[in-house]
Amino acid sequence: MNLLNFIVRRLLLMVLVLFGVLCIVFIIANVIPADPIGALLGGNAPPEVVDEYKKKLGLDKPLAERFVSYLLGVLRGDLGVSFRTNRPVLEDIKKFFPATMELAIAATILSVILGIWLGVASAVNRNKGIDHFARVFSILGVSMPVFWTGLLLLLIFYYKLDILPGPGRLDIFLTPPKRITGSIVIDSLLTGNWEALKNGLLHLIMPAFVLGYSATASIARITRASMLDVLRQEYITTARSKGLEERKVVRNHALRNALIPTVTIIGLTFGSLLEGAVLTETVFSWPGLGRYITNGYLVLDYPAVMGGTLYIAFIYSLVNLIVDIIYAFLDPRMRV
Amino acid sequence: MEDSKLLSVRNLRVIFRTYRGIVKALNGVNFEIGREEFVGIVGETGCGKSVTALSIMRLIQQPGEIIDGEIIFDGTDLLKLSEDDMRKVRGKEIAMIFQEPKVSLNPVLKVGTQLKEAVSIADGIPQKSREAEEKVMDILDAVGLPDPKGLMNKYPHELSGGMAQRVMIAMGLLKKPKLLIADEPTSALDVTIQAQILNLIKDLVSKFRTSVLFITHDLGVVAEYSDRVVIMYAGNVVEIGDVYTIFRNPVHPYTKGLLNAVPRIGQREPLETIPGIVPDLVHPPSGCRFHPRCSKAMEVCSKEFPEMVEVEKDHFVACHLFTRGEKNG
Amino acid sequence: MRILGIPVPESYKPMIEDLKHTMYLWRKSRLTMVGTIIVLAFLMVAIVAPFVAPYDPIEQNLKEKLLPPSREHLFGTDQFGRDIFSRVLYGSRIALWIILLVSLISGGVGTMIGVFSGYFGGIVDEILMRITDMFLAFPGLVLAMAFAAAMGPSLTNTIIAISLVYWTRYARLARAEAMRVKNMEYIEAEKAIGASHLRIIFLHVLPMCISPVLVQLTLRMGTIILTAAGLGFLGLGAQPPTPEWGAMVSDGRNYLVDQWWISTFPGLAIAIVVLGFNLLGDGIRDMLDPRLRR
C-alpha cells in the first residue's frame, strides 16, 4: 500500500544517490591530482617502470573510459584489485567488514540501551541528580576524541590494571573459531567454542564502549528532549487523569511517542559509528574495514580506497533507509 | 458532617515559578459543587479556570504548585491523600475531559486500546479480556458512536473532532464517576457538533447521577446547561449564584461587564466592552484584582482584598461595593 | 540583530525584547558559563601562545627527550625532546586557524549554494539538493579522509577537506531560509520595481540566511576540531612537526605505557576545548528554543 509506495520511492532515490557517491569517489581518486605510482614506487623510479605500472593498472587510458569500466565493474561486483594486498578489493572487504560490523553492532546495542535508559531517566527526574549526571556524561561523550579515550582506556585497563584484554579481536595464542559469518562472537557460538566466545566478548568491551560512548550521548540527549516534550502533551494528562500509575504513563503512553525522534537519531549515529570505527579500529588494532581504508589512504591504494569508501557509503545509506522505514512504521500518522 | 456538598474548594492557592517571578495563578479560590449539580465556571482566558480543574485532579505539573487550601471531595481532603490514593480517585471518582479531543488521545495507540486501558484501571480486569472489550463497546454505544467494533481499531488521527470528543466522554464516564470536569469540551468543535456533544454530556450525567464542573468562556452554553455559575477573574472567584440570579441580577461589576459584552438577538446598540486588559499575575494589582478596570472603583479597592459576602440567599460576591454596607450603585 | 555577538534573524525578535530572559537563562545555566569561559580562555591562549610558551614548539632537543612532567617541562617532553606544554599552547593556534577557515569556507560555500537553490527553485534546486544528498551519504570523516588523502596530507588540505564535507549542512539551512524569504511581500515588491535577481539575492535574501547559518556554525565548532584531530591522528592531517593536537596524540602512541604524558595532554586539550564549544553551543541552543523560553 502506501508504506510500500514509500519504500519504493526511497529505494529509487537511494540508487540515484549511490550513483552520485560513485561519481564522487571516482573523482576523488582519479581527478584530484596525487601520484599513486609515485606512492607505490617511491619518487624517483625510472620512467619506463612508471609507464609499465601505469599500463598494468589501467591508468594510461582516458578518464571517461576508466569511469565507464569502473562503473561496469562495480555493477558486476568487481571493485578492482588492491595495489597493496594484490587481492580483489571485494575479497578484502568480505574479509574485513565482519569485524567492523561486529564492533558497530555491539556499540549500537550498548548505546541504544544505555542512551534510551539515561534519556528517559533524566527526563522523568528532570533537574534531579540523575538528570545532572546524564547531562555531564553526555556532554563529555560528544566532546572527548574517540582515539584519545581509547588510548586512555587501553593504558588504564590493559597496561596498568590488566583487567581487560588489549588490542585485537582475540588473544594471540587463542585459535579463532572456524570462520562462518566472520563475527567471532557468532562463530564461536555456532561452533561451541566457549573459550573463544568469552575471550572475544572481553576484547569487544573496550572498543565497543569507546565507539558507543558518543552515540550513547546523542541518543540520551535526544530521548530526554523528546520525552520532556511528550510529557507535556495533553494525552499524557489524559492518561494520568484515568488514574494510571506514573510508571505506566511513561512506559505505555510516553515512551513510544518519545522514541520516534530517537529512531531517527539512531540512523544518524550509525554514521558517526562508522566514522568512529575508523579511529577505534586504528587504536585497538581491530582488523576491520576502517583500518583497511586508512591503510589504503596512507599508501594511496586507490582501488582499495574507492571500493572501501563506496561500500561504507552503501551500508550507511542502507541503514538510513531501514531507519526511515521503521520510522514510518512506528508513527501511524506517517502511514496515511 | 456537612456532607451535602460533593466538592468544596476552599482558599485554593496555586503558583507557578517562572523566570519572570512567581505567577499567582489562583489566589484563594472558594466554591462548592452539590451532588448531581451542573456548575459552570466562566472567565476570560488565563483567569485560572483550567488551573482550578487540574488542581482538583491534582495534576498540576512543575513549575506549578498548590501552596494552600483544601479540596474536600466526598468528605476527604484530596490535597492530603497520598499519590497512590489520589490515583484511585482519578478516573474512578472524578473524570476529566479536555478542550482539544484530538490531541488528548495518544496518537500511537488505537482508540480501543486506550479505552480498554481505562476499563482495566477502574475495574481491575485484564486489558485484553473479552469483558473489557464488551464494556468498551457498551459505552461507545452509549455515547452514540456507530460501529464500535470498527472504531476500536482506529487511530485517533482517523477520527473527526466530534467523534474524538465522544470517545473522550466515553472514557470519562466509563466508571460512572461522581464528578466530571469538562474543560471547554466544545470550544474546538464546529458549532453544529457543539450542541450534540453538550446534550450528550447532559443526558449521560443525569443518567449516571454525575455532577459536572463545566469550564467555559461561552456564557450562552452556561445559561443553557448550568444549575449554578462561578465567575472567575484573575485567579479569584468574584461571583457565585444560580444561573437565573447571575443572568438576571448580576451584581459584580465584572460580571455585568461580561454579560454586556454578549450580543443578543435584536440588539441594536453596540456591544460594550470591559476597558483594559487582563492583569499580569506576576505583579497582580493590589487589593481587588479587578479595580484598575472597574468603573466603580473606590479608594478601598486598591488597598484591601474584598471578602466574599452573601448578598441574597446563595448569591455570593467578592466586591467592596457590598462588603462595607454601601448600597449597590 | 545580535545575541552574544551572533546575528540572529528577525523571527527571533521576541528574544531581544526579552533580553532579560536570555541573560537569565545564561546566568541560570552554570554549564553555559563554564563553556563561555573555556572558549574565551582558548581564544586567549591562541593569541598569547608565542609570548607565554617557554620553549620553541618545533625545535628538537634530544638531550631532554621523554622527560616526565616537571617544573621545567609542565607536560613533559616527547621523543624529540620538545616541550609538550609549549606544543599544546601552539596547537591552540592551529585549532583556531582550522575552525575559522573551515567555518568561513564551508559556511560561505554552503550558504551560497543554499541561497541559489532556494531562491531559484525548480531544476536548479533539484540538482543542487541531489548533490547535497550525495555528499550526505558518506560518514563525514570517511569523506574528509578521502579528500585529504587524494590531495596529499597537509594542514591546508585538511581545512579544504573538512570544508568540502560540512558545506551541505549550511546549504540545507540557507535553502530553507531562502525559500521562506523569497515569498515575502517585500521581495515581490522589489521584483515589481524591476530589481535584478542578483540584487535581490545579495541585498535581501542572503543577509537573512546568514544569521541561522552563523548560529549553526557555532554549534558545529566542536565537531570541526574533532574531525581535524581525527585526520591528524590518522596521519592524514597536518604533518609533523606541526604541533597539531591529533597528530601529537598519535606521536605518543608507541610510548603510551611508560611515557603516558605524550598522548595524554594534547588529547586533554582537545577534550577541554571541544567541551567548551559544546557547552556554549548547548547553551545557545537552549536559549533559542522557544519551548524552554516559556
A154-189 pLDDT, tens digit per residue, is 999 998 898 988 888 888 777 788 888 888 888 888
Asked whether the beta carbons of residue A34 and residue C31 sit closer than 8 angstroms, the reply is no
Q: In 3D, which of A162, A163, A187, A165 has the Cα closest to residue A175?
A: A187
pLDDT in tens, A65-104: 888 888 998 888 888 888 888 899 999 999 999 999 999 9
How high is the pLDDT of residue C22? 67
Confidence of residue C57 (pLDDT cuts 50, 70, 90): confident
**Side chain identity, residue A239:** A
Q: Tell me what the pLDDT averaged over chain C comes to.
A: 86
The answer, yes or no, to whether residue B126 has pLDDT greater than 90, is no
ipTM, 2 decimals? 0.86
> Which pTM value belongs to this model?
0.79
B185-211 mean pLDDT: 87
C18 → chain B, closest CA residue: B20
Parse chain B into domains and list their residue ranges.
2-93+177-328
pLDDT in tens, A204-227: 999 999 999 988 988 998 899 899
A241 touches chain B (CB under 8 A): yes
- Contact B214/B40 with Cβ under 8 angstroms? yes
Asked whether the beta carbons of residue B107 and residue A240 sit closer than 8 angstroms, the reply is no
B29-47 mean pLDDT: 90
Q: Which CATH number fits domain A97-290: 3.40.50.2300, 1.10.3720.10, 3.20.20.300, 3.40.630.30?
A: 1.10.3720.10
Alpha-carbon distance B132 to nearest alpha carbon in chain A (angstroms) = 15
The answer, yes or no, to whether residue C244 has pLDDT greater than 60, is yes
Asked whether the beta carbons of residue B103 and residue A333 sit closer than 8 angstroms, the reply is no
Alpha-carbon distance A83 to nearest alpha carbon in chain C (angstroms) = 15
Which A positions 276-315 lie with beta carbon below 8 A of chain C?
278-279, 282, 293-294, 297-298, 300, 305, 309, 312-313
B203-219 mean pLDDT: 90
B165-169 mean pLDDT: 91
Which CATH fold would you assign to the domain C38-293? MetI-like fold (1.10.3720)
How high is the pLDDT of residue A33? 60
CA–CA distance, A286 with A276 (Å, rounded to integer): 12
- In the CATH scheme, what is the code of domain B2-93+177-328? 3.40.50.300
pLDDT in tens, C64-74: 888 889 888 88
Parse chain A into domains and list their residue ranges.
97-290
Long-range contacts of C108-111, Cβ-Cβ distance < 8 Å, separation of 24 or more: C109/C163, C109/C167, C109/C170, C109/C171, C110/C166, C110/C167, C110/C168, C110/C169, C110/C170, C110/C171, C110/C173, C110/C174, C110/C213, C111/C170, C111/C171, C111/C174, C111/C206, C111/C209, C111/C210, C111/C213
What are the distances in angstroms from CA C84 to CA A253, C76, C77?
A: 54, 6, 5
Peptide bond into C139 cis (omega under 30): no
B68 touches chain A (CB under 8 A): no
The answer, yes or no, to whether residue C8 has pLDDT greater than 90, is no
Query: Which DSSP letter does residue C204 get?
Result: I
CA–CA distance, B43 with B230 (Å, rounded to integer): 9
| Optimal mutation site among C233, C254, C289, interface A, most CBs of chain A within 10 A | C233
pLDDT in tens, B295-319: 888 888 888 889 888 888 889 999 9
B233: phi then psi, degrees, rounded to nearest 5: -145, 120
The answer, yes or no, to whether residue B328 has pLDDT greater than 70, is no
B155 touches chain A (CB under 8 A): yes
Residues of chain C with pLDDT > 90, as a percent, come to 40
Residue B31: exposed, middle, or buried by beta-carbon count in 10 A (0-12, 13-18, 19+)?
buried
Alpha-carbon distance A167 to nearest alpha carbon in chain C (angstroms) = 13
Confidence of residue C293 (pLDDT cuts 50, 70, 90): very low
